Amino acid sequence: MLTLKSNKAIVAITLFFSAASALNASCAPGGNFDLSKFVLQLPSGSTNNPDQISASRLAGCGGYQDPGHHYFFTESGDGAMVMKAPGGGNCATFPGAPRCRSEFGETNPWSSSAATNRLTADLLVTGGSSICIGQVFQSNSNNKPLAEVYYNGNGQITVGVEFVATGGQGQDLNKIGTVTPGSRFNYELRFESGVLSFSLNGGAFKTLKQYFTTSKAFFKMGNYNQGGDDSDIHVFGLTVQH
């Protein structure tokens, strides 16, 4: 992975955030979103080697969407970016991570002590009982998350913070709030000046307790299916700032 040259740089990955009508339903997602800072991880591929789509392949109106519109494509009606993942691990997965995903990962790690590290997303969940819709991931040899944002079928939004850096010891589950199932909502996840915090639908930020430190991190966002049923999200807005 590359490193940012300046912690003061602001990298905006922006969809026409305010209205779905601004989206071009005739374009691949890369024609509506600037995906230049992401790699897309998919549930297709082979054992321990899921397909990964580079930013250069995602770019532009004619950019990548899977040919059968199974996992990643533009919705023909509202132009949203659709990200689907099978349930129950019935897919190509990474070693040590036996769940299916259609998920973006930043390619440029950043300093957790920098003044600005923010992920915002505007989305709609149309299927799935348990989905990780955002992550702060450690950028070190542990290759494990620091925190994960969960949506369940009842609309409960929870942020799980890992107890140990190497994982496997559970998470501190912070219940943030509830959204109406099937409704559009937004969140903002921050990890800046060493502080981890979260806001749902523009509400007050909740500071989340951390159990270890990590100097370098990166954001992930998308559909990382935690349940046994198939999951489906539609994304209308996505912004990352550093």
Q: In the chain, how many domains are there? A: 1
CATH classification of the domain holding 71: 2.60.120.200
Residue 5 lies in a domain: no
Residues 107 and 37 sit within 8 Å (Cβ to Cβ): yes
Nearest to 106 by CA among 211, 239, 226: 239
Q: Is residue 2 part of a domain?
A: no
Q: What is the pLDDT of residues 160-184, one digit of tens each?
A: 999 999 999 999 999 999 999 999 9
Question: Has residue 57 been placed in a domain?
Answer: yes
Residue 1 lies in a domain: no
The per-residue pLDDT for range 74-116, each reduced to its tens digit, is 999 999 999 999 999 999 999 989 999 999 999 999 999 999 9
Q: Is the confidence at residue 20, as pLDDT, over 50?
A: no
- Give pLDDT tens digits for 205-228: 999 999 999 999 999 999 999 999
Would residue 112 count as lying in a domain? yes
The DSSP bridge pattern shows strands 206-208 and 184-192 to be: unpaired
Residue 83 lies in a domain: yes
Answering whether pTM is above 0.85, one says: yes
Residue-wise pLDDT for 135-144, tens only, equals 999 999 988 9
Rounded distance between C-alpha atoms, residue 34 and residue 14, angstroms: 6
Residue 4 in any domain: the answer is no
Please state the length of the chain: 242
Q: Would you place residue 64 in the very low, low, confident or very high pLDDT band (cuts 50, 70, 90)? A: very high
User: Does residue 38 sit within a domain?
Assistant: yes
Write out the residue range of the structural domain in which residue 61 sits: 20-241
Half-sphere exposure of 22 (CA within 13 A, CB side): 10
